[in-house]
Chain A
Amino acid sequence: MSEVISARALRELIGGWLKAGIRVAGPRRVATDQVAYAWLDRPEDCLLGGYIHPHNSIKEFFFPRHESLYEYRIEGKKIALKNPEPLADERIVIGARPCDAAAMPILDHVFNWDFKDPFYNRRREQTTVVTLACREHDHECFCTSVGLGPDAERGSDVMLYELDGDMYEVRCVTDKGGNLMAGRTETSQLTGSVPPGPAKKFDLAYLRETIGSKFESPVWTEATLRCMACGACAYTCPTCHCFDIVDEGNARGGIRAKNWDACQFPMFTLHASGHNPRNTQPQRQRQRVMHKFSIYPDKFGDVLCTGCGNCTRHCSVHLGVQTVLEAAEKSWRNATV
């Protein structure tokens, strides 16, 4: 026995949410060959299948690339501060990929371990994540290598599985998801399943065990010398979460904003003295990979990667977590033989 919903009913449901003033985001065609997670204006714009992975990730809806923390006005010698209105609207992200949804509990650790980020947490509370299990994958997908898969439920409130005949099986994972879909589904005998995901690209257990002692390994330079030093990997990554605090304004006032930042920029670690502790590109790539597979896991247990493949997919020199770890595993295993 399962709960199902037809594609038509699902679109009507999205339309109903939009009418009720709920903000709904989902995969949407933004250019001829570009699909992005974006806010929807009309239910028909939402893609419910037929894409591998949008060019961005759903982290944008929780941790936006630019966010005002407060406004300030300078009047004479006084400074007046104004906090932004707390987020009031209810939000739904529909059609998230399991690898994107799985990033949310990972980011929860970061935004709550010390300082509890009110902006992030508020968005998390207000947003329900409806995930669409994957029936296809491409060369860059590697969710299975980091312990997830095409139907991983982690981080999702509701899971949708595509069925034949324009139907979706609905599995509610959390109470939040249950409330959202209550009374919207029909009972059926059909159950959804997904084909196996991509073949494993690397041995996570081996790498986790080894990587800590490989800081000086020559593989970092060999595998990453071609890095162009842009932030495409970090900004399309569902789990990268670095940000910069900047003041934007003039002599009379402005805002203090939180903007995305990326560890691949030489500026990221440049000191005022001119010294740069990560002075070359391979050092910066090493940082990125080690943060994901050594530093973060040592602190929180999980790896900071969900295998979405966006880093490699959007890299102009075909360099990403997957290609670096493949090269590293090969090199380190050969070295120990």
Chain B
Amino acid sequence: MLNDLRQTARQLLADKKVDVVIGYGQADPAGPAYPVFITRPEDTEQLVFNDRCYNNLTTFLTRKEIRAMGRAAVLVKGCDAKSVVVLAVESQIDRQSVVVIGMACNGVGQPSLAKCRTCDVHMPRHTDMVIGQAADHAIEAKDRYAELAEMMSKSASERLAYWGQELSRCVKCYACRQVCPMCYCERCVADKNQPQVIKTSATTMGNLAWQINRAFHLASRCVGCDECTRACPAGINLRLLNLMLAQATEEQFDYRPGMDKDAQPVLGCFSVKDKECFIK
């Protein structure tokens, strides 16, 4: 698998089909892998792929510094492949000019991350090629959102207190935003101050306002790569916020972001039949 990957990358660079391959490197086998940007065929030996390859590399496709390097090939796991679909649907990348190398993946992390335990895209979809083999098994919708059940069994007041407690640790480093492939805005609303919609202060309220904003701007767009949760230095389980909206999107609109490249994005359209039982 690793040889195939390096061979593919080498060929893409040698044939000048791409200028840069965005992949994973790893200096210390005991440490995590991290993104590397390979521009010369001979450097492809640096590429690795294993269960420490956490990053969603598609975030780099919209970065100024990386775009300046030219045409890119990008390594994706099944979950990351979904963000390529959303980026293309939202016209953030020209899908034809990016080479997407899918990597069959049996889950990352030791033990596996929460997202991997309910993953049904071990084989990446909508890629230009897939390297390796992995078995996909269907996951029932309710299992995807099992983690929410416990929280939703609490009272509203307890839930608000829980989030207040969790978010009191948030320092507003914006790691959740920066690692997110869907957070590609040139200038985030949190960085605008005329008017200042969201306070820059890392108070509990300021943090809550920020996280509501982040979660809802990702509503029906979040592909569930969980990079925000992994990147959070304060260990806040942001995944739960994303899951709430993913569940509602699937239940109400039968839509899972990044799964179907031809489906219309939920918040980009409407239906006159949308249910409105909550509107008086």
Residues of A within 8 A of B (CB): 30-31, 33-34, 36, 55-56, 65-66, 139, 225-226, 228-232, 234-236, 244, 246, 248, 257, 259-260, 262, 265, 267, 280-282, 310, 314, 316-319, 323
Contact = CB atoms under 8 A, between A and B. Distances in A.
Nearest to B36: A226
B31 interface: yes
Interface stretch (B71-79, B134-142, B199-207): B199-207
Contacts of A314: 175, 233
B128 interface: no
A141 to B, nearest CB: 13
A259 B234 contact: no
Contact of A55 (B27, B36, B234): B234
A260 B179 contact: no
Interface string B18-43: 00000000011011111111000000
Nearest to B37: A225
B200 A259 contact: yes
B172 interface: yes
Which of B173, B175, B230 gathers most chain A CB within 10 Å?
Answer: B173
B95 to A, nearest CB: 23
14 contacts: A65-B202, A66-B206, A225-B37, A226-B35, A226-B60, A229-B178, A230-B177, A230-B179, A232-B231, A262-B173, A280-B64, A314-B175, A316-B230, A316-B231
A230 B191 contact: no
B175 A281 contact: no
Nearest to B32: A318
B110 to A, nearest CB: 13
A317 B191 contact: no
Contacts of B35: 226, 317
B59 interface: yes
B109 interface: no
Contacts of B65: 225, 280-282
Interface residues of B, number: 43
B55 interface: yes
Given A66-B201, A244-B200, A231 B174 contact: yes
A316 B55 contact: yes
A246 B200 contact: yes
Contacts of A257: 201
B57 to A, nearest CB: 9
Given A259-B200, A281-B65, A318-B34, A230 B235 contact: no
A257 B173 CA distance: 17
Given A226-B36, A317-B35, A318-B31, A232 B200 contact: no
Q: Among B60, B230, B231, B234, which residue has the most Cβ atoms of chain A within 10 A?
A: B234
Contacts of A225: 37, 65-66
Contact of A248 (B60, B201, B235): B201
Interface in B190-215: 191, 196, 199-203, 206
Nearest to B170: A65
Contacts of A260: 171-172, 202
Nearest to A34: B235
* Complex A-B, nearest 4 residue pairs according to Cβ-Cβ distance, in ascending order: A231-B173, A34-B235, A316-B231, A230-B175
A45 to B, nearest CB: 14
B132 to A, nearest CB: 23
A36 B36 contact: no
B201 A30 contact: no
A146 B37 CA distance: 30
B240 to A, nearest CB: 12
Nearest to B22: A226
B59 A36 contact: no
B203 to A, nearest CB: 5
Contacts of B179: 228, 230, 316
Given A66-B201, A66-B202, A230 B37 contact: no
Nearest to A314: B233
